[in-house]
């Protein structure tokens, strides 16, 4: 039962976020879209506004359903037939996830200054330390191939530009 | 007829170049790997691999993508049969009888039935595309903006209505996709929308950034959370020969043909994805199969039918994509987005303006199907080994590929951060059970849909009535309406009280 409660709470939070986003988007169509100098039958704000109104409508209905507890058990048979994604039932591992997100952000920010190969290798190793450090030697080799190997394949074979970063100091 | 033959010749001329043959092979190969690997579905796979196609001519790019698509569809069945974990939703049904067969030591025939069934269905879908594609394109070429707008509304709603447990949430996801498609400079008035003065937002949010974030990175987060409580799986060994016996063949054909026809109808005509097709086919086998009592206990019909059906449906949804420019599934939506990025506009004009592209793709579908057949059965041992790649390594590699792919697109760090953001969002959506595929659909169709809407309004001088004056548009809109409202039809006889009252049991 605890699991169900958890899911229900998550859906409630989602419904609130959806409603707030829709409202913000709708308001945004008034302030973030300047009027065009060209005279048009349908201006640049009309379509987004229609989308915003529909979105708000749907999320308010959903919000009301959630708040009043009107939600019925989802039709699992139908969900299986149409191939809906499986529900995530395991508890979120917020701590590990947060660390991984931080690694990804660092990966993105260091991508250009340090260069593709070096940042990729460092991020890979950081990820390894977080997720599993039982086979460090084998996995380090995988990491080296995936970062430096990929860099050379992409830049020399496929001629795709990737930031060299610190590698350029060595004339590579 | 002569036209058709010369077109086919043109197609094989394009697809038969060594480079394109190689790409078809690489596509099918990578696709199968993606299909086999747990946690990477066809959508994630195609999105992650699109960056490889940058710099290729469009015909080569689509040949590669179609190969990946086909391969992934097929690869999923291998894991269903051997490990009882479907690689993607369309091979869920295959698990039932396929895995049962594997337990009985008949994994070989099950894999063969899946491969040959896929081949039969894929070939059939390709022939249908050849026969009816040009015809459909000719009809669609007469469509004006109102018809196209209505068609897109229909395409969005039909796919949306089949996207998740809750219609409301699926609709929201579609609209959310449309909403973010509006970001950037409006082509028709040169006005900036939702750019917040950010230079990179002027070109809009790249759909691939969203697709990779919302599929690949979300998958990463799901994997991370699952690592703490791993699932127990048992892998069945392949015992005995791979080949089917005479008896197997006899039982294979009727169900494969039923599966192919029903799958093509469900996917190609009704536009309802491969997963539905496989279930419809299983239902047919249960009803009309000669050995229906054995279904569920390892009957070959339970593999041949659904596997044929999901491939026929996959081929069928390509017809929609090529002739009308409407994606029939999440994966084809990603392919459509990629084609638009390359400057092509899929739709009825494609057949007349880019014959080499269309017929080259069709020819490569034949070639890809044959390659799948040749590639899969002998290599099945290798595919099985792939399942032993540790999950955390796979997860880290998905991250690396996501970053590589998104960065090479625009050389933009902002795109990387945006992708991470969408990854987190995607995980949140997953927890709230909001389907992600409609977002991509909305994003890919958004700009075009708005354009058609505005063109319609110019024609009618601002009156919405134009959509009701055109019979074809009315038909499309009615289908759209029916597809969103049909889950609620059962409430109509019960009256409004049941719908709004307190009667439904709260969870």
A54-74 pLDDT, tens digit each: 999 999 999 988 888 765 555
pLDDT band for A4, please (50, 70, 90 cuts).
low
Residue A109 exposed, middle or buried by CB count within 10 Å (0-12, 13-18, 19+): middle
Give the residue from B424, B433, B443 with the most A CB atoms within 10 Å of its CB, the best one to mutate: B433
Comparing B491 with A6, the larger pLDDT belongs to B491
Tell which B residues from 403 to 432 touch A, by Cβ distance under 8 Å: 403-404, 407-408, 411, 413, 416-417, 420, 423-424, 427-432
For residue A87, tell me if it sits in a domain.
no
A32, A47, A81 - which closes a domain: A81
Pick from A32, A123, A128: CB nearest B193: A32
| B323: helix, strand or coil | helix
Minimal CA separation from B135 to chain A, in Å: 30
- What SS3 class is residue B193? strand
- Same domain for A67 and A101, yes or no, is no
3-state secondary structure chain A: CHHHHHHHHHHHHHHHHHHHHHHHHHHHHHHCCCCCCCCCCCCCCHHHHHHHHHHHHHHHHHHHHHHHCCCCCCCHHHHHHCCCCCCCCCCCCHHHHHHHHHHHHHHHHHHHHHCHHHHHHHHHHHHHHHHCCCCHHHHHHHHHHHHHHHHHHHHHHCCCCCCCHHHHHHCC
The pLDDT, as a whole number, for residue B427 is: 92
* A127 and A153 share one domain: yes
Residue of B nearest to A122 (CA): B400
Is residue A51, in this structure, part of any structural domain at all? yes
B210 in contact with A, Cβ within 8 Å: no
Q: Burial-class residue A7 by CB neighbours within 10 Å (0-12, 13-18, 19+).
A: middle
| Stronger pLDDT, B499 or A52, i.e. the higher one | A52
Stretch (H or E) spanning B256 = helix B246-264
**pLDDT value for A83:** 55
List the beta strands (DSSP E) in B98-195: 184-185, 192-193
Q: Which of B33, B2, B3, B28 is nearest to B15 (CA)?
A: B28
CB contact under 8 A, B432 and A87: no
Domain ranges, residue A150 = 94-170
Residue A77 has pLDDT above 50, yes or no: yes
Same domain, A52 and A119: no
Question: Under DSSP, is residue B186 helix (H, G, I), strand (E, B) or coil?
Answer: coil
Selected for mutation to probe chain A from B41, B87, B164, B165 (highest A CB count within 10 Å) is B165
> And the tokens for A103?
């690694």
- Residue B206: HSE in the Cβ half-sphere, 13 Å Cα cutoff: 26
Chain B's closest residue to A64, CA to CA, is B500
In chain B, where are the structural domains located?
2-230+240-489
Instruction: Quote the crossing angle between the two packed helices B437-460 and B145-161, to the nearest 10°.
Output: 160
Residues of A in contact with B392 (CB under 8 A): 127-128, 131-132
pLDDT of residue B238: 67
Q: Does B49 touch chain A (CB under 8 A)?
A: no
> Are residues A74 and A103 both part of a single domain?
no
Chain A nearest-CA residue for B501: A70
A–B interface: beta-carbon pairs under 8 A = 234
Residue A88 lies in a domain: no
- 8 Å CB contact between B348 and B138: yes
Task: Tell me whether residue A120 is in a domain.
Answer: yes
Q: Is residue A157 part of a domain?
A: yes
Task: Note whether residue A152 is domain-resident.
Answer: yes
B375 CB contacts (<8 Å, ≥6 apart)?
B25, B28, B29, B32
Regarding whether A111 and A72 lie in a shared domain, the answer is no
Are A39 and A100 found together in one domain?
no
Domain stop point among A48, A81, A114: A81
Beta bridge partners of B193: B184
Q: Tokens 């459509």 map to which residue?
A: B336
Residue range A108-136: mean pLDDT, rounded: 91
In terms of domains, do A99 and A33 share one?
no
Measured in angstroms, the CA of B154 and the nearest CA of chain A are apart by 16
**Same structural domain for residues A8 and A77?**
yes
Nearest CB to A44; choose among B191, B224, B504: B191
Residues of chain B with C-beta less than 8 angstroms from the C-beta of A27: none
Residue A135 lies in a domain: yes
A142 and A100 in a common domain: yes
Is residue A49 a part of any domain in this protein?
yes
pLDDT at A5: 56
Going by the DSSP 8-state scheme, the letter that residue B433 receives in this structure is: T
Q: Find chain A residues with C-beta within 8 A of B216's C-beta.
A: none
ipTM of the prediction: 0.88
- For residue B423, give the chain A residue with the closest CA: A101
Domain total in chain A: 2
A-chain residues within 8 Å CB-CB of B275?
81-83
In the listed set A54, A81, A108, which residue is the last one of a domain according to the structure?
A: A81
Select the residue from A7, A9, A49, A104 to test the B interface by mutation, using most B Cβ atoms within 10 A: A104
For B491, list phi and psi in degrees, rounded to 5: -85, -20
In A, minimum Cα distance to B194 occurs at: A32
Same domain, A77 and A36: yes
pLDDT along chain B (507 residues), means of 10: 82 86 90 80 83 82 85 80 74 84 84 88 88 85 90 86 80 94 85 82 87 90 78 64 78 89 81 78 84 80 88 83 81 85 81 84 85 79 79 89 89 93 93 87 90 91 88 90 78 61 49
Whether residues B163 and A84 touch (CB distance < 8 A) is answered with: yes
Residue B328 Cα, gap to closest chain A Cα (Å): 13
Interface of B with A in 99-138 (CB under 8 A): none
Tell if the pTM clears 0.90, that is, is over it: no
Q: State how far residue A151 is from chain B, nearest Cα, in angstroms.
A: 10
What's the distance, Cα to Cα, between the start and end of chain A in Å? 59
Based on the fold, state whether residues A76 and A147 are members of the same structural domain.
no
If asked whether residues A105 and A75 sit together in one domain, one would say no
User: What does the pLDDT read at residue A2?
Assistant: 45
Cα–Cα distance between A134 and B371 in angstroms, integer? Answer: 39
Show Cβ contacts of residue A10 under 8 Å, excluding neighbours closer than 6 positions.
B431, B432
CB contact under 8 A, A70 and B163: no
């Amino acid at each position: 039962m605890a699991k169900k409660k958890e899911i229900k709470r998550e859906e409630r939070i989602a419904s609130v976020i959806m409603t707030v986003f829709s409202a913000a988007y709708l308001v945004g169509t008034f302030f973030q879209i300047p009027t065009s100098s060209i005279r048009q039958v349908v201006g640049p704000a009309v379509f987004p506004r229609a989308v915003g109104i529909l979105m708000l409508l749907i999320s308010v209905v959903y919000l009301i359903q959630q708040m009043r507890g009107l939600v019925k058990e989802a039709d699992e048979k139908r969900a299986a037939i149409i191939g809906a994604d499986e529900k995530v039932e395991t508890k979120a591992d917020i701590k590990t996830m947060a660390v991984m997100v931080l690694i990804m952000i660092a990966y993105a920010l260091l991508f250009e200054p340090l260069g593709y190969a070096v940042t990729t290798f460092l991020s890979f190793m950081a990820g390894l330390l977080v997720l599993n450090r039982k086979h460090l030697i084998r996995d380090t080799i995988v990491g080296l191939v995936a970062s430096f190997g990929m860099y050379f394949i992409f830049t020399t074979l496929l001629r795709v530009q990737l930031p060299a970063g610190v590698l350029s100091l060595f004339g590579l | 007829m002569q036209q058709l033959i010369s077109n086919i010749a043109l197609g094989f001329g394009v697809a038969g170049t060594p480079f394109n043959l190689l790409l078809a092979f690489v596509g099918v190969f990578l696709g199968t790997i993606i299909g086999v690997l747990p946690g990477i579905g066809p959508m994630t796979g195609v999105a992650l691999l699109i960056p490889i196609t940058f710099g290729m001519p469009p015909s080569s790019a689509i040949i590669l993508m179609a190969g990946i698509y086909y391969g992934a569809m097929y690869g999923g069945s291998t894991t269903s049969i051997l490990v009882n974990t479907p690689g993607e939703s369309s091979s869920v049904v295959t698990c039932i009888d396929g895995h049962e067969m594997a337990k009985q030591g008949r994994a070989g025939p099950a894999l063969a039935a899946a491969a040959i069934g896929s081949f039969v269905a894929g070939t059939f879908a390709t022939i249908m595309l050849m026969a009816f594609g040009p015809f459909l394109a000719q009809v669609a070429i007469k469509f004006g903006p109102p018809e196209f707008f209505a068609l897109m509304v229909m395409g969005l709603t039909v796919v949306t209505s089949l996207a998740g447990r809750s219609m409301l949430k699926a609709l929201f996801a579609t609209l959310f996709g449309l909403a973010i498609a509006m970001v950037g400079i409006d082509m028709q008035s040169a006005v900036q929308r939702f750019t917040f003065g950010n230079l990179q937002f002027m070109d809009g949010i790249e759909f691939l950034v969203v697709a990779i974030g919302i599929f690949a990175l979300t998958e990463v987060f799901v994997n991370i959370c699952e690592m703490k409580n791993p699932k127990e799986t048992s892998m069945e060994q392949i015992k005995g020969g791979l080949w089917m016996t005479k008896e197997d063949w006899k039982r294979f054909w009727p169900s494969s043909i039923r599966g192919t026809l029903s799958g093509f109808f469900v996917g190609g005509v009704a536009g309802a994805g491969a997963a539905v097709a496989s279930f419809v086919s299983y239902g047919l086998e249960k009803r009309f199969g000669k050995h229906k009592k054995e279904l569920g206990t390892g009957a070959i019909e339970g593999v041949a039918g659904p596997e044929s059906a999901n491939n026929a449906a996959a081929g069928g949804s390509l017809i929609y994509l090529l002739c009308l420019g409407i994606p029939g599934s999440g994966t084809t939506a990603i392919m459509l987005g990629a084609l638009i990025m390359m400057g092509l506009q899929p739709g009825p004009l494609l057949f007349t303006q880019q014959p080499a592209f269309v017929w080259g793709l069709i020819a490569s579908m034949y070639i890809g199907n044959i390659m799948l057949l040749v590639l899969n059965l002998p290599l099945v041992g290798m595919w099985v080994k792939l399942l032993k790649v540790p999950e955390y390594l796979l997860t880290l590699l998905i991250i690396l590929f996501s970053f590589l792919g998104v960065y090479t697109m625009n050389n933009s760090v902002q795109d990387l951060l945006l992708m991470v953001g969408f990854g987190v969002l995607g995980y949140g959506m997953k927890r709230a059970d909001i389907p992600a595929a409609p977002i991509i659909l909305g994003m890919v169709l958004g700009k075009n849909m708005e354009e058609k809407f505005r063109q319609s309004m110019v024609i009618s001088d601002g009156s919405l009535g134009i959509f009701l004056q055109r019979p074809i548009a009315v038909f499309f809109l009615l289908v759209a309406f029916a597809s969103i409202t049909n889950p609620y039809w059962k409430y109509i006889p019960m009256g409004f009280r049941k719908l709004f009252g307190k009667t439904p049991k709260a969870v």
